Structures are given as C-alpha cells and as structure tokens.
A and B are shown apart, each in its own frame.
Chain A
Amino acid sequence: MDFGSFLTVPEIKVKVVTYRDIFQDKAMIENRFGEEYRDRSAVIKLDPADLKQLSVKKGDTVILKNSFGRVVVRAEESGYETSHRGIAYMPNSPWSNILVSDETGGTGVPKFKDISVTVTSAKGEKVTEPGF
C-alpha cells in the first residue's frame, strides 16, 4: 500500500444523522431525476472545524465511504441544526442509502439512522449519479 499518498489526504470519521427536508421532498415530487432533487439530496453538512481539517471548502465535493458503499456528495457547513465535530447531517435519499448497513439482525429494520463513514476530499470528482 502506498502510505505516502494515503497520509497526505486528510481523512475524518463522522457519524451521519439523516433527516427530511421539505424542499427536498418537494423537489422529489416534481422530478426524482432532476437537478434540484440532486442538489438538495447529495449533500453532507459538516462542522466548520471538520471542513477545515479536510481542507475542503463549502460546496466542494467529498467522498463518503464505509464497508457498504462509496458516494460522492457536496459538502456544506451545518447551520441551524447546531454543529458538533464528528457529527454530520445528510438528507435521507438514495445517496445516504448507499451507506446504510444491510445488517438487520433478522428484524427487517435496517439501521437507517446509524451510519458511520470516513470523509475525504473528492478533489473535484463529480457527485455520484443516483442510478445503479
């Protein structure tokens, strides 16, 4: 493994809290494949200090990764929801669902609200397409 390049990219671990957003819901009803829905869904809101540590500016794309999947979304600063380092907010969407565990303990209920990911700068890579 090439540890050199690995270390130069700052990486943080965050817990993702998903939520619903009225404008995102509205955009979904209007067109699930539209730009507005993507802009409002493929987003992660991070604490300003976490953004700084990643050397990522608001609006840049970041890679979110865990053992279930990888997705590129836009990074934003958390606002009214009050920010904490290590806690990130993401609207519930096909993008967040890429990162949800398939582990259910046989209950039929995935752990939608219990998502941990590592975040790194996507260095300009485009937001993931919602398709398969």
Chain B
Amino acid sequence: MEKNYHVCTGCGLLCDDIEVESEKNIINKVYTACRVGVAHMKEGKEEAIFRVDNKPVNEETAISEAASILKNAKNPLIFGLGTSTSETHKLAIELARKTNATLDDTSSFCLGSLVEALIHNKIKTCTLDDVRNKADVIIFWGADPSDSHPRHLSKYSYFPRGSEKQRGWEEERTAIAIDIRKSHTAKICGNYFFQIPPGGDTEFIDALIAGLSGKLPKTSYNYPPKKILELANILKGAKFGIVFAGLGLIYSLENLEPLFRLMKALNEKANFHLVPMVGHYNMRGFNENLFAETGYVNSVKFENDIVKHGPEYSIVESLKAKTVDAALIIGSDPLSSLPRSIAKNLFEIPVISMDPCETLTSRNAKVYINTAISGVEAGGTATRMDGTKVSFKPVVETNHPSDEAILKKIMEAL
C-alpha cells in the first residue's frame, strides 16, 4: 500500500512524511508532524479577504490599488518571501526589476551571510540525509532545534538509525550544544552542553581551535580549559562531524571569519560540515533564486537593468534611512519582527501586505490581500535548510489566491 505523504512547510526542515485526514477541505487529523506543523496545517480559514484602507473590497480593486502604489513609487521595497515558493520568488524578482524596486528578505538580518558563504563553497556542507546516515559528532551552536525545528533531532540529526549508523544514537552519536542558554536541545545533550556567556562565541571558537592543536585554551571568561580540551578531543575523533549553526552564533559574531577559521581547523583534524538552521521554509530558496538571477543573495536594488547590492539595500537600512517610498510585503510581518524603532518608519509609506494570516503589518497596511497558505493550500517547490529541493502539492483546496497568482495579476495590472 503506497501512502500519500504531504510536505509540511511549517519550518525549514520541510518534513516530507506527513499524513493527513481531511474532509471537505478541512484538515481533521495530522500524523507524524510536530505541534508547530499541526498548527500550520490547520491554520486555514474561511473567506478570502481583500482590504483597502481597512475596508473590505473585491480582489480586482485590491490588485489595482496595489499596482498603482507600486507604479507611483520611485523606490518601492519588496520584502518577505521566506514562506513563498520558488516559483513566487521568480515572479517577485521580475516585479522588482520592472518597478526599479529594492528587494530583500529576512535573511539580510539573520542567516543570509552564511547561506551566501555556502553558495560560494567557502564552507563544506552536506545534506540532512547524510547527517542521518553518517554523522557521529553533531554540534548545535547557538541553535535550539527542539523549539525551532522540532523534528530535527528525531528525523535527521540525532536519534534515527542511518545506513552507516545502525546501532543507534546511544552508541554511535555524540550530540553537543554550545549556547548561552540551557535550551531544550541543550538539555537533551546532557553533559555535552557547553554554556558560554553572551557574546562569548568568538573567544570560544579561538579557544577551541587552540585546544584542537593541543594548546592551552584560554578565554577572558575563564572557561575551564579542561572542558574545552575534552570537547576538542571529541571533535578530533569525528569521522563525520556536523555543525548546525543558529542565529545565536551568527548574531554573536562580527563577521564570519571566526567560523571559517574553526571549520578549517576542524577539517585539518577531522571531517566536518556545516548546515545553517534556516527558519522559514524557503528562505534558503530565496537566497539561491536571487543569486541565480543577480549574483547576490539579498539586499538588492534594481535600477534600469543594473543591479546594486549592499547593506544599504537591506530592509533595516532602507527603512532607517527612509530611502524607500512604498512597500510590498509578502508573507512576513516586519512590524512584529523588526525593532520597533525601525519598523515604525513603515507607517510613513503605503504598505501592501500579502499574507495568509492577520499580522500587525496586515492590520496597518493600506492594501491587504489574504493569500493561500503556501504548502497547505498552494503547491510549488522550495529549498530545505540543507539545500535539498523539495516539491509539494496543496494538501487542501481553497478559494484563497496563491501569492504566485496575485503577483501575476499585479504584474498584468502594471
């Protein structure tokens, strides 16, 4: 009996083994997905909503209003897309070209730099399936997958049996957490949890590198050298090591140099890979798709066929400097996720919000278009956190338009 599995788009893990029982397009039961995945799958709601100036309108009016905002803007910002399909990304890039827009996604203030380094082959990486099949030393650094990617440890990184790991996690794998907080993941790692002070990551990296070459590891916060040496010894013995790098690590580093140093040192003594803990289901896809079109992973500005790039074209800097004069926000809620001191500048420009759910941003937008939930009500392809392409069909039917369909219509209306 061949089972019909669905893909969960609740996080960057894109679990591909979810069974669903539904009736009349309402999902009643979800099997194997975690709590977040179930909430995501059951998110669906009733009627499609379109609003202009907080009044309900029909689809046509909302689209023509959105198009005229974009047409009248000199430098509109197009932002979001972490929870959109790669097909939608391509349309958004085309729309940005057409409107001379600034285009960015959340990766500019989270893991974009790391994904870029992977695209440029600056760090050795591997797939999650490799991790399941081979990994013997697993490091969660500044990451807490138990909360952010709940099935990470059970589906790939620690507990499952793999082709070269038949005897199970107790005997054949060592999971290590390095963090400033004893997270749920750190708890599972037990004695292999290394707690460092906030901002102490760079020093810990250098102490670890010293330890790897047998030198005395020193830190200004007097981390017990014995513990670092013990850790270095475990890492040296790794046949297939993996570092899962989270936001906690990236935010603590000024730039990625310390991480490059560490990976180099680890690969002189052992065999180590790195996979970024990408949160949104297709953020990595956005980075790759934009890179394929422009050579940059985020923060770009289109200007009559040339593409400019730099932090000044990130959402944060362009809002701070007030260089953008309208915003099209797709599946993201910057009013909630950015520092309020920066996000408040969105109130000064017309905002179009396309989102399957009501957010602070949608409630304060000039135009709101309630779209289908990508991955549940609309299908497409995406890139998993480890770079693997995954395609999916909608789980249920809906009368909500997909963001892909809306972008197409906006483009036609321009």
Contacts and interface: CB of A to CB of B under 8 A. Distances in A.
Is any CB of A less than 8 Å from a CB of B in the complex? yes
B314 interface: yes
B316 A32 contact: no
B268 interface: no
Contacts of A20: 144, 147-148
A25 B252 CA distance: 23
B364 interface: yes
Contact of B359 (A32, A69, A108): A32
Contacts of B337: 94, 97
A6 interface: no
Interface string A18-37: 01111101100110110000
Contact of B335 (A30, A68, A93, A94): A94
Contacts of B333: 32
B359 A113 contact: no
A95 B336 CA distance: 8
Interface string B26-50: 0000000011100110010000000
A98 B360 CA distance: 14
A81 to B, nearest CB: 5
B317 interface: yes
Given A22-B146, A29-B39, A101 B339 contact: yes
A interface SS class: loop
Contacts of B370: none
B260 interface: no
B340 A98 contact: yes
Contacts of B10: 29
Contacts of B316: 104, 108-110
Given A81-B183, A97-B337, A110-B342, A22 B198 contact: no
Contact of A68 (B108, B183, B341): B341
Interface residues of A, number: 40
Contact of A94 (B34, B195, B336, B358): B336
A54 interface: no
A100 to B, nearest CB: 4
A82 B195 contact: yes
B115 to A, nearest CB: 14
B199 interface: yes
B336 A108 contact: no
A112 B148 CA distance: 17
B70 to A, nearest CB: 23
A82 B352 CA distance: 43
B312 interface: yes
B342 A102 contact: yes
A132 B317 contact: no
B109 interface: yes
A131 interface: yes
A25 B147 contact: yes
B226 interface: no
B357 interface: yes
Contacts of A112: 109, 247, 251, 339
B338 interface: yes
A114 interface: yes
A5 interface: no
A89 to B, nearest CB: 6
A8 interface: no
B187 interface: yes
Contacts of A130: 336, 360
Interface in B4-56: 10, 34-36, 39-40, 43
A93 B39 contact: no
Given A68-B341, A114-B198, A22 B147 contact: yes
A23 B182 CA distance: 17
Contacts of A113: 198, 247-248, 251-252
Contact of B181 (A26, A81, A101, A108): A81
Contacts of B360: 32, 94, 130-132
Nearest to B337: A97
- Most chain B CB within 10 A, of A19, A23, A93, A98, is at A19
A57 interface: no
A124 interface: no
A82 B34 CA distance: 26
B358 A32 contact: yes
A19 B181 contact: yes
Interface of A: 15, 17, 19-23, 25-26, 29-30, 32-33, 68-69, 80-82, 87, 89, 93-94, 97-98, 100-102, 104, 106-114, 130-132
14 contacts: A19-B147, A22-B35, A22-B36, A29-B36, A30-B43, A82-B181, A94-B337, A100-B339, A102-B341, A107-B311, A108-B299, A113-B247, A113-B252, A114-B198
Given A25-B147, A81-B181, A112-B247, 11 more contacts: A19-B183, A25-B36, A29-B39, A32-B336, A102-B320, A106-B311, A106-B312, A112-B109, A112-B251, A113-B198, A113-B251
The 6 closest A-B pairs by CB, nearest first: A108-B314, A100-B339, A102-B341, A108-B311, A29-B39, A113-B251
